[in-house]
């Protein structure tokens, strides 16, 4: 009897559990309705809206939630979230398919505190617009935030872009109601190739979305969409002041500074290009990374030569990525000016010797030319006399002979 009376409560518990489970399973969740994707002109920032399923409008003892899934076209993966709301805003690349799914989730007294998800979901796939001449979208889009003060974005034209086309750039971020056109276009031979945002600062650590579209006499150009945060596009200015000092323990100490601006020193890192010429003439080139704006080198021979150049960029503690600056001017030990100063006197003497040699050669050429001219004239006169004199002698001799034979005065002409 004791065993029978002890088993009765257990049977009752199993019955109650079975009854509650049957009650739970009797409630089903249908997927949401009226799923829509709205484009408010924000360059891919789309509004997703939906309505609760009509079958669950009268339920009051359950928490109604939704599971939203959308394909992130920038990260190339599905994003999933749960929300009690009926709207959500997300960013999409409008040149690709926009894919959104929404499911219904129930939890509470009506489901015996068991989470129930609709077996099906509501899905919408929005295709990109088919307008635009194929393969005419902007190429190689890139933005550079110079010294964290001036932003420039540039692009190149596709080879299939008609020559008569005009390209436009628009941008949007969450502080703007609508997309805004570029304030100052960069032109190359009259063609738009970029945008300068000087005087139009953009927010940092904020997603900014760009669109380059255009038109031509042959029709609209294909649109291209881009997204970035400008603090990750910084290109620092090259270090402009490099200093060198030597110490008594045969050390060379290099240190430098970056131009004044918004960049903090604790956010910078540097790369040093060290060019070394040993006393034996052996040349080496090394690249050294450093977190501080200084470098100490050892030298063992006064005939050694050390030259350095420096460039900088923002480190990973402050931004996700950045560009290297240009290389600074070169600083050397010993200083090049000293070497030039020792060479200048020798170069001056060499120049004097060259000038003297040239003057002598020119003088000799002139004298030889005069001498040759005089000789040519003398030779011409002598040749002329030699040709005339025989003629004169022959003439006088003939006249004298003719007078003797004629019986007249003899030798009226004296021939010498």
Starting at the edge strand that comes first in sequence, how are the strands of the sheet with 251-257 ordered? 241-246, 251-257, 294-298
Q: What is the mean pLDDT of the chain?
A: 82
pTM for this structure? 0.67
Fold match, 139-234 / 237-334:
yes
Strands 224-228 and 77-83: unpaired
Q: What is the pLDDT of residue 231?
A: 95
Residue 183: per-residue pLDDT: 95
Q: Is the pLDDT of residue 410 over 50?
A: no
Distance CA 268, CA 259 (A): 12
> What band does 341 get if pLDDT is binned at 50, 70 and 90?
very low
Q: Do the beta carbons of residue 84 and residue 50 sit within 8 Å?
A: no
What is the helix, strand, coil percentage profile of the chain, to 5? 25, 40, 35
Which letter, b or e, does each residue of 350-368 get, where b requires 16 or more Cβ atoms within 10 Å of its Cβ?
eeeeeeeeeeeeeeeeeee
Identify whether the C-beta of residue 27 lies closer than 8 Å to the C-beta of residue 7. Answer: no
What is the arithmetic mean of pLDDT over 179-188? 95
pLDDT greater at residue 126 or residue 251: 126
SS3 state of residue 279: coil
Average pLDDT over residues 209-228: 93
pLDDT in tens, 368-397: 888 788 877 776 655 554 554 455 445 544
Residue 362: predicted pLDDT: 84
**Structural domain boundaries in the chain:** 25-126, 139-234, 237-334, 346-416
User: What is the model's pLDDT at position 201?
Assistant: 87
Q: Give the range with max mean pLDDT: 139-153, 286-300, 343-357.
A: 139-153
- Asked if CATH classification 3.40.190.10 holds for the domain at 237-334, the reply, yes or no, is no
CATH number of the domain at 25-126, please? 2.60.40.10
Q: Report, in angstroms and rounded to the nearest whole number, the Rg of the chain calculated over CA atoms.
A: 49
The confidence band for 122, taking pLDDT boundaries of 50, 70 and 90, is very high
Three-state secondary structure readout of 226-262: EEECHHHHEECCCCCEEEEEECCCCEEEEEEECCCCC
118, HSE (Cβ side, Cα atoms, 13 Å)? 22
Strands 180-181 and 219-220: unpaired
pLDDT-derived band at 408 (thresholds 50, 70, 90) equals very low
pLDDT exceeds cutoff 50 at 404 = no
Give the CATH H-level superfamily of domain 139-234: Immunoglobulins (2.60.40.10)
Q: Is residue 353 within 8 Å of 332, Cβ to Cβ? A: no
């Amino acid at each position: 009897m004791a065993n029978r009376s002890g088993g009765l409560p257990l049977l009752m518990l199993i019955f109650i559990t079975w009854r509650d489970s049957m009650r739970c399973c009797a409630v089903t969740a249908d997927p949401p309705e009226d799923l829509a994707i709205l484009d408010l002109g924000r360059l891919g920032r789309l509004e997703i809206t939906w309505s609760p399923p009509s079958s669950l409008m009268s339920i009051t003892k359950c928490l109604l939630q939704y599971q939203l899934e959308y394909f992130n076209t920038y990260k190339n993966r599905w994003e999933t979230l749960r929300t009690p709301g009926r709207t959500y805003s997300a960013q999409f690349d409008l040149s690709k398919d926009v894919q959104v799914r929404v499911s219904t989730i129930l939890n509470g007294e009506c489901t015996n505190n068991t989470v129930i998800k609709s077996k099906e979901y509501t899905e919408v796939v929005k295709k990109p617009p088919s307008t635009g001449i194929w393969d005419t979208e902007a190429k190689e889009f890139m933005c550079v935030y110079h010294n964290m003060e001036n932003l420039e974005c540039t692009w190149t034209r596709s080879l299939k872009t008609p020559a008569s086309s005009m390209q436009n750039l628009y941008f949007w971020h969450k502080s703007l109601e609508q997309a805004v056109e570029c304030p100052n276009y960069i032109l190359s031979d009259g063609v738009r190739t970029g945008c300068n945002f000087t005087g139009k600062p953009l927010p940092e650590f904020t997603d900014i979305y760009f669109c380059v579209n255009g038109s031509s006499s042959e029709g609209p150009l294909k649109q291209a969409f881009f997204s970035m945060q400008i603090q990750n596009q910084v290109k620092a200015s090259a270090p402009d002041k490099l200093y060198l000092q030597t110490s008594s323990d045969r050390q060379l100490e290099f240190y430098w500074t970056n131009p004044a601006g918004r960049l903090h020193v604790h956010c910078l890192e540097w790369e040093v290009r060290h060019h070394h010429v040993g006393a034996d003439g052996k040349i080496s080139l090394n690249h050294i990374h450093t977190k501080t704006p200084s470098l100490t080198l050892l030298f063992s021979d006064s005939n050694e030569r050390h030259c350095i150049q420096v460039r900088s960029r923002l480190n990973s503690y402050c931004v996700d990525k950045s560009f290297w600056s240009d290389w600074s001017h070169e600083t050397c030990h010993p200083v090049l000016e000293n070497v030039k100063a020792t060479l200048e006197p020798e170069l001056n003497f060499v120049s004097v010797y060259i000038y003297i040699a040239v003057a002598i050669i020119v003088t000799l050429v002139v004298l030889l030319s005069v001498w040759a001219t005089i000789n040519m004239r003398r030779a011409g006169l002598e040749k002329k006399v030699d040709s005339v004199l025989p003629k004169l002698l022959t003439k006088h001799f003939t006249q004298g002979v003719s007078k003797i034979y004629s019986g007249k005065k003899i030798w009226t002409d004296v021939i010498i």
